[in-house]
Structure 1
Amino acid sequence: MSKRIAVFSDVHGNLHALQAMYADSLRHSVDEYWFIGDLLMPGPGVMEIWRLIKKMQPSVMVRGNWDDLTVKGVRGQMDLEKPSRIYFARLAQYVGEHVSAAVIDEIASWPLHVQKQAGKLTFGISHNLPTLNMGQALFPTNPVEHFDQLFENFDQQDVAIYAHVHHSLMRYASDERLILNPGSVGEPFNGWWPLQHDTRAHYLILEVDDDGIAELDYRHVPYDRESEYELAVESDIPYLELYKRTLETGRVNTHDQELLDQINRKWDYLAEYQAYAKRVKKRS
C-alpha cells in the first residue's frame, strides 16, 4: 500500500506561497504532511498561516532556527547587540502582536528531531542537524562528511530529511543512505542566477510503498506575488522594502549588518522593540 507525503519547510510568513503549495498538494492526492521548520517571519502571514497549518494537521512538526527566533523575540528575550538581532526582534514583535501566547508555546514545544516510519523505511527528520537547527554545515556544496552527521547516533535510520538551506536536494551519505531536502516554500534560494530566478513555492511529494520510495516529485508551484506584496503593505509589516526585494528576486538581507543598521535607525526599530519587550515582561 502506498502513501503520498507532502514534505515542506521554510514558509517564512509567505501566505500566498503556502496556499498555492497546499492547493497543489490536494490536486496530487497527498495523504499526509511533514513540516520541517521555519514557519513565520519575515512575511505578513501569521494567523492565516497558523490556521492553514492546523487544517493540514501535519503528522511531523520540527522546530527551525527562525521558529526559535520567533519564540524568543515574542517573549521579549531577544539580545540586541547586532543589527540583525534587532531585525529578528522587530519581526518577532510583529508576530507577537498578531498571535496568542498559546500559539508561541506550541511552536516552542516542537522537537528538533523526529523519527518517522513509512512503509519499511525509517526517516530521520530535522530542520538542520538533529541537535542543531542553525548553521551552514549542510549547505549543498559541502563535503559528504558533513552530511554523515545526519545519521550519527541513528544507526536505524534509512533516510534523513532536512531543510534550512532553501535548496531542493537529493544526495547520499558515505554509506549510501539517502538524504532529501524539499527546498523552501517561501524563500527558494540558489547562488546561480538562472536557477535563482525560479522563486515559485518549492516542496516535495514523497511516495512510499511496500518496497520503499516509489517516487520523489520536487514540485515548483507558482503563486500570486503581487497579492502577497499587497498583503504585506496592508499589514504594515516591518522591513517592507526588504520583503519586496525578496519577493522579486529571492535574495535576502538577513546578515547585511550595514543595511539593516540603516533601516533600523530610519524606523527606530530598536526603541520599538525595547518598548514592546518591556510591556511583555510586565505582563509576565
Structure 2
Amino acid sequence: MRLLCLSDIHGHADALAAVLAAADRRGYSKLLVAGDLCFPGPEPLETWRRLTQVQAVTVQGTGDRALATLDIAKVVPRSEHERTRLSRLSEVRTELGQLILARLSRLPTTHRIDLEDGSELLLVHGSPVDPFEPFSHEMTDEEMFALVGDDPADIIVCGGSHVPFDRMVQGVRIINVGSVGEAPSGAGITGGHADATIIETHKAGIEVEQIAVPLGKAA
C-alpha cells in the first residue's frame, strides 16, 4: 500500500493541486489528510471539492473545528489580527455552506489503519493525548512521549506544527507531514513549497519519503 499523507492545506487549493499532481506521477493508493483543510486560505470550497473528488481520508483539525463550532458572536477580538481572522472565518463559512460545515463537524479526530506487517497507524491532527495539541520538531523525546500517552499505535501520522519530521520515540514512530498551505518556507506564496509524505507499507515494515513540492515560480 502506498499512502500519500498531507496536512494543513488551509484552503490553498492551488498548493493542493500541485501536490496531487506530483503524487500522481509517483503513484499512490490512498490519500490521508491530518486536518486543517479549508481555513483561512483563498479557496476553501475548491479545496473541499478536490479532497472529496479524490476520496481523501480526513480527520478534524483545529481550523475545521473552529469553522464548524465556534460562536463568533461570543468572541471578543483582542487585536486587529484576531478581528481579521474572525472576519475570514465568517467568509469561509458562507462559501462552504451549511452542508459542508455539518460534514466538517462530524469529521473524526482520529483514524486507524492496520498495516501489512501487523503494526497500527494512527492519523491525527495533533497528538493521541489531545487531537488539537501538535507534536513539534523542537520537543524533547520526553515531551513527545507525554503526548503519545497510552495509545497503542506503532506509527503516528500528524500535522499541526507545519514542520515535517520523522522520529522514533520510545518505540513509537512519529511522522509529522508538515504543511501544504502554510509551510514556513512560504507555501501558498510564489516561490515557496508544499510538504508531502509518502509512506510505502509492506510485510517487512514501512518506507517513508518526505518531499517538498515546488510552488509558483519554483515549480
Using the size of structure 1 for normalisation, the TM-score is 0.69
1:95 is aligned, of 76, 92, 96, to: 92
Instruction: Give 1 or 2 for the bigger CA radius of gyration.
Output: 1
Cα pair 1:112 1:130 within 8 Å, conserved: no
Cα deviation for residue 100 of structure 1 reads 1.7
Cα deviation for residue 88 of structure 1 reads 2.8
Gaps of 5+ in 1: 227-284
Cα deviation for residue 76 of structure 1 reads 4.1
2:14 is aligned, of 8, 16, 26, to: 16
Change (3 A) 1:101 1:55: same
Matched, 1:127 2:122: no
SS at match of 1:123: strand
- State the distance in 2 between where 1:113 and 1:178 align: 16
Paired residue for 1:141?
Answer: 138
Cα deviation for residue 77 of structure 1 reads 5.1
User: How many residues align structurally?
Assistant: 213
Cα deviation for residue 135 of structure 1 reads 4.4
Change (3 A) 1:131 1:198: farther
- State the distance in 2 between where 1:10 and 1:31 align: 20
SS at match of 1:142: coil
Matched, 1:184 2:161: no
Change (3 A) 1:149 1:162: farther
- State the distance in 1 between where 2:41 and 2:20 align: 17
SS at match of 2:95: coil
Using the size of structure 2 for normalisation, the TM-score is 0.88
Gaps of 5+ in 2: none
Cα pair 1:11 1:39 within 8 Å, conserved: yes
Change (3 A) 1:223 1:15: same
- State the distance in 1 between where 2:150 and 2:112 align: 12
Return the structure number with greater strand share: 2
SS at match of 2:15: helix
Cα pair 1:78 1:89 within 8 Å, conserved: no
